[in-house]
A and B are shown apart, each in its own frame.
Chain A
Amino acid sequence: MNIYVLLKRTFDTEEKIAISGGEINSDGAEFIINPYDEYGVEEAIQIRDSQGGEVTVVSVGSGDAEKQLRTALAIGADKAVLINTEDDLEIGDEFTTAKILVEFLEDKEADLIFAGNVAIDGGSGQVGPRVADLLGIPYVTTITKIEIEGRNVNIIRDVEGSSETIEASLPLLVTAQQGLNEPRYPSLPGIMKAKKKPLEELELADLDLDENDVAAKTKTVDIYLPPKKEGGRILDGEVQDQVKELINLLHSEAKVI
């Protein structure tokens, strides 16, 4: 089984987000493997351990992502690939990342590709499905269980709190939802061994791409923090007056109607 896991380096869930100069300030912040991608890494390793094969983790990003790839190798992945866009791209979006990944994956004959349901930073949930679409293979999102028999795949996916059972076949891309498994901690000997595992670094040119091929399709207009949560207000008086006042407030103060 030839398994690939798409992995993103993201802010630690514990970090407080601060904005300075219109950009998210990452000074001194801790970074982690996107937790949904980590479910993918764990599941890929379990499948490899029971069915044989190889797990490759792939990340598109800056050189800093090497740490997260090394962690995935320490957890048990066999190989890692970092597609470093640091020098080539100022900005990118979901299209950019998907396009780069597809160029890389196209000739790899992957049987199964794991992505996260969403990344906890951008939260678009687009990259996985886009990659599958461009590769021309089926995909199933938000999976919580996967069983593989030969080329047949039985999946349970989370549908807004309920579950749906789906039969699919390889090759296939799936996106991991919380509940798929409990990711293990990297073992200390695993960390030492990870140093000796292959970590290949590529740039756009190695994939015969230039920056125009992958230029972002979207533009970031503004970045701001959500407004501070304030205490609620309780209206009183006759119900009719309360309704009138509520509509008035929604219109003039909250400006939502």
Chain B
Amino acid sequence: MSEDIEFLKKNVRDFVQTEVEAVAMQIEEENKIPERIIEMSKEMGLFGLSIPEEYGGLGIGMVGKCALYEEIGATHNGYTTLIGAHTGIGTVGIVEMGNEEQRQKYLPDMAAGEKIGAFALTEPAAGSNATNLKTTAVKKGDKYILNGTKHYITNATEADVFTVMAVTDPLKGAKGITSFIVEKDFPGFHVGAVEKKMGLRGSHSAEVILEDCEVPVENVLGEEGHGYVNALKILANGRAGLAARNLGSCQKILDMSAIFAQTRVQFNVPIIEHQAVSHMLAEMAMEIETLRSFTYRVAWMVDEGMKVIKEAAMLKLFGSEVYNRVADKAVQVHGGLGYIADYPIERFFRDARITRIYEGTSEIQKNIIAGQLKKDYSL
């Protein structure tokens, strides 16, 4: 890791551990990230960390992004998700598939955090099977008219710019899907019910309702009919970053567990002196170090321009599973305290659970890996 990246990483760590950690319990109680933290994050440029320099972002490679995501993950996951979903799936579509005009129009405001991005693929009948979309887009003159309902859309209540997938040609299946850049102020765009979730408080997921929503033709993202491929690319691109955020969360709860185990005394010794406890810590540390190596390996491959479909899926899968195992052990090390909501461990335990589901479930990742294996070993 270069000196520059180390320096950026340290500054993000200082900010996150000083400012965000100080309000982590408040975020959990109020289900809201304080405006002051959001403003400070904007001023620091965190909203632009995945956007190229020429559009007001940071312009660092995937290794650099992962280094920063690791720090952003080491605190309340609601905050992590606000930044992560915006800089990941919320902006990547425009960065990767947007034309110059679209990039100029949207990215500078998104880099500054003045406009928040969201990704709207999932529908009541289309989750893992993204080809089963029911939202339609019909071209009328210089506009597309979108109709349908998206749900579980992260950041929907905060977002200004949505990457929306809709069916433009129902006869063509996956090849009949197109992606659009939809602004919240377009006529016929509504944010619906906000979900009550198991965790990720402070980050809001809601329905997006498109009711004869008018989208100008220049807001087609990429080519018509390429929406499904775009969606897969956007999700794939986000996978290393997501794993890095999980890595940061894992490290945070290991830090807490290792300190707790040395201060909590049972049977006259700190519990870390009990082998049963120390071995749990050893396993946590080993899995975290493995995840760290794998994360930066895949990030490096991305920076080298190598194809990482299989590796990114493996990393998303492994990172999410490790986070869940580490969080489970952290609760166990903390004992009763790990189950108490006044203490952060149970929050990480609940927040870890979604990582095996969102941005492609663990099972879908296995399908992707197996699919690639079939290609690698094609007879």
Interface residues of A (CB under 8 A from B): 67, 70-71, 74, 184-192, 195
Contact = CB atoms under 8 A, between A and B. Distances in A.
Contacts of A184: 43
B15 interface: yes
A189 to B, nearest CB: 5
Nearest to A30: B10
B4 A188 contact: no
A185 B58 contact: no
Contact of B40 (A67, A185, A188): A185
Contacts, number: 44
Contacts of A190: 45
A185 B19 CA distance: 10
A81 to B, nearest CB: 20
Nearest to A184: B43
Given A191-B11, A192-B58, A185 B43 contact: yes
B4 A185 contact: no
A189 B60 CA distance: 10
A191 B49 CA distance: 12
Nearest to A67: B7
B211 interface: no
Name the interface size band of chain B.
20 to 34
Nearest to B112: A189
13 contacts: A71-B11, A185-B15, A185-B40, A188-B8, A188-B11, A188-B12, A188-B44, A188-B45, A189-B45, A189-B48, A190-B45, A192-B4, A192-B53
Interface in B40-81: 40, 43-46, 48-49, 53, 56-59, 68
A185 B57 CA distance: 17
A188 B46 contact: yes
A186 B58 contact: no
Given A184-B43, A191-B4, 4 more contacts: A187-B43, A189-B56, A192-B4, A195-B4
B14 interface: yes
A186 B11 contact: yes
B11 A185 contact: yes
Contacts of B44: 185-188
Contacts of A189: 45, 48, 53, 56-58
B325 to A, nearest CB: 31
Contacts of B48: 188-189
Contacts of B19: 185
B55 to A, nearest CB: 12
Interface string B195-229: 00000000000000000000000000000000000
Contacts of A195: 4
B7 A187 contact: no
A4 B4 CA distance: 26
Interface string B179-206: 0000000000000000000000000000
Contacts of B43: 184-185, 187
B166 to A, nearest CB: 35
A70 B15 contact: no
Contacts of A74: 11
B188 to A, nearest CB: 36
A70 B7 CA distance: 10
A188 B14 contact: no
A74 B8 CA distance: 10
Contact of A187 (B4, B45, B53, B59): B45
Contacts of A188: 8, 11-12, 44-46, 48-49, 58, 68
Nearest to A190: B45
Contacts of B40: 185
Contact of B14 (A70, A185, A187, A192): A185
Contacts of A71: 11
A25 B68 CA distance: 30
A189 B19 CA distance: 19
B87 to A, nearest CB: 12
Nearest to B12: A188
Nearest to B49: A188
Contacts of A186: 11, 44
A31 to B, nearest CB: 11
Interface string B153-174: 0000000000000000000000
Contacts of B57: 189
Given A184-B43, A185-B40, A185-B44, A191 B7 contact: yes
A67 B44 CA distance: 19
Interface string B1-37: 0001001100110110001000000000000000000
A191 B15 contact: no
